[in-house]
Each structure stands twice: as C-alpha cells, then as structure tokens.
Structure 1
C-alpha cells in the first residue's frame, strides 16, 4: 500500500515552494525554453527564453514494476510513492543539515530516464556489495546525495560509491515535513 501521507507532504512542500518563489519574484518559477523536453509542468511563456512552471500531480499512474523485475529487487514503497506523486523541476530546500535539491521527473519521458538512473545506481550498489539505497536529492557538494535505505525507508546522506554514513530521518515523510523551501537568485533571474 502506498503512503498517502508522503504524497500529501510532497504536495504541501511543492505549494510552499511555489508560494515562496512567487513572494520573492512575483511570478512562478522559471525554466529555460526547450522544445525537445516538454512537460505538463509548463504553465506559460515568460519570455522568448524562459517558461513559467509549477509542480503537477501525476494523473496517470506510473510504476517501477519494470525496474523491480529487471533487478529482481522490490523497491521500498516510499521510493515508489515519492517519484510517482509529482512531475516537477528540482526544488531547492533547507534542512537542519544544509541545502539540498529534491529531484523529480519532469515528464513521463523523464520518468523513463530517472528509472534508468536508478537502475544504474542499484547495479553499482550491488557490484560494490553495499546495501541498496535509492537517491532522491542532491546536495551542493556533487560528491554527496540523499538516499532512502531500501530495507527500512530511512533517509541518509551518502558519498557516491560509498555506504550511507549519516542518518537524517526515520522516513521520507518525516524528512520532507522537516524541509523549508530555499529560494535563491538563479542565473535565470539575472537575465530578466
């Protein structure tokens, strides 16, 4: 059974992120125009180079069944719920340990790419004989990511290629609830 409270926490965080962004800049978040990478998140054109976007609840059910079958692994329900709740650009956030960016699929095509990246991550973990984790966020240091322990759903910091080394929360839902949106002046705003 999927974790509806995790979905609710993700939706609430995304609303808080958009509200904080709008308060800072008086418009929705921006992304560069890319005709080759459409998304249901695109709301409207901001100018010739930028589109406004906002997270969208995924309407058509997505699944990790193909990933699980290919690897012979059952993914923790929170991992599946996290990546099948929203389409979104990455959303910066603060937690008590620092800044991070939550990762999401931008569209159904991007969900396929995300699945491929997760397969690669799990294969690396298996090759290194490490416990299986699945990433869901990156930090401002490219060598570290935030992941979910596939066995118990706890949230950890891990150095790429290494075992997780710092526990942040007992569950993904608990971790998401602890976050606050982080709005910074992006390169995109320097153009406007």
Structure 2
C-alpha cells in the first residue's frame, strides 16, 4: 500500500473513531441508523430494535472495492484518492464541520449501494464531459444549496462546485488534508 493510500485510510479511520466517540459521549450509546430491510448493510451491528433502528459502525471493505468497471466505462483511470475514499469502508453518511461550514460525507453503505454510487459517478463524469469541464467526482454535499465537494480527477485537489458548473473554490490540496481538517457533527 503506498503512502498516500495508507495516509488517507488512517485519516478516515481517525475521523470515524472521533465521530463514533462523539456520538457515544452525546447519546450514551453507539450510533444508530434507521433499518431498511431493502438496504441491509454489513455496518449494522446486533439486532434491529423495534424493527426500526440498528446500531452501526464503519466496516473495512476486504478486499477494497473495485472500480475497474467504471474506469473501463469512462475510459479513465480514477484518481487513487477517489478509489481509496469510496473503496475502503462501508459506512453511513457522516456529518462534519469544515472551516467553511457543515457538510455530509458520502460513503457506500453496502455492496448494492456501491453499485448505485458508481452509476451516479458515471452520470456526473459524463455530465462534466458534455459541459467540457474538467472531470471531478463528488464525495460530499454541503449545507449550501447545489454546492457539492469534489475531487478533481487529474490532481486529487478538493474543490467546491455547484452542480453542473465548473469548480469554483479550492478547499484542500488532497483528500487526506481535507479529512484531517474536519470535526465530527453528531
């Protein structure tokens, strides 16, 4: 595993741990999620309570999730940070605070959700190509309407962009730098 991949995995693990600890301190129990029998996840822990909620925690993907099909469809090699970020853990989406405001980090919840995520990635990159804009892959939504956070595929930089528009503001030089700067919101 190269240094960049291991650094990003470590940053994600630390953020997951801080989020989990903050949740437990505030709610006196592990994080819960509304159970959906149509979308089971390896993240769900123990029994579903009252048929409605389950405790959950991030679960490493072993082996890491594969992006060969999307790369082949796009005829594009995805930036390694994109593959590491989305391919290393099954996890619920997580709220966070960045220096510029609140956001929600998007993660695949299950293998089926990973397939849906890949379809959304394909649509996003194809839209960027039709608009003759640099290729980006979104990974977070913000509390500002229509503003998402994306990885610029060619550089790995993190940028804010309005849906359908060119990235308009650089947020961080890398995914590791960005994840390390976040504070959990529970």
Fold match, TM over 0.5? Answer: yes
Deviates further, 52-61 or 174-183: 52-61
Name the residue aligned to 2:90. Answer: 87
| Secondary structure at 2:17 match in 1 | helix
1:31 offset after TM fit, Å? 1.2
Q: CA-to-partner distance for each residue in 1:74-95, whole Å, 9 max, x for gaps?
A: 1101001100111011000001
Query: Which sections of structure 1, spanning at least 5 residues, go unmatched?
Result: 184-192
| Residue of 25, 38, 41 corresponding to 2:40 | 38
| Secondary structure at 2:73 match in 1 | helix
Distance 1:83 1:142 in 2: 23
1:146 offset after TM fit, Å? 0.3
1:155 and 2:155 matched: no
Distance 1:47 1:177 in 2: 36
Distance 2:171 2:99 in 1: 9
Query: Which sections of structure 2, spanning at least 5 residues, go unmatched?
Result: none
Give TM-score, length-normalised by structure 2: 0.95
1:131 and 2:137 matched: no
Q: How does 1:13-52 map to 2 (within 5 A)?
A: 13-44=15-46, 45-52=48-55
Distance 2:82 2:64 in 1: 15
Distance 2:51 2:26 in 1: 22
| Aligned CA-pair RMSD | 1.1
Give TM-score, length-normalised by structure 1: 0.92
Deviates further, 54-63 or 92-101: 54-63
1:108 and 2:111 matched: yes
Q: Which runs of 4+ in 1 moved over 2 A?
A: 44-48
| Secondary structure at 2:170 match in 1 | strand
1:142 offset after TM fit, Å? 3.6
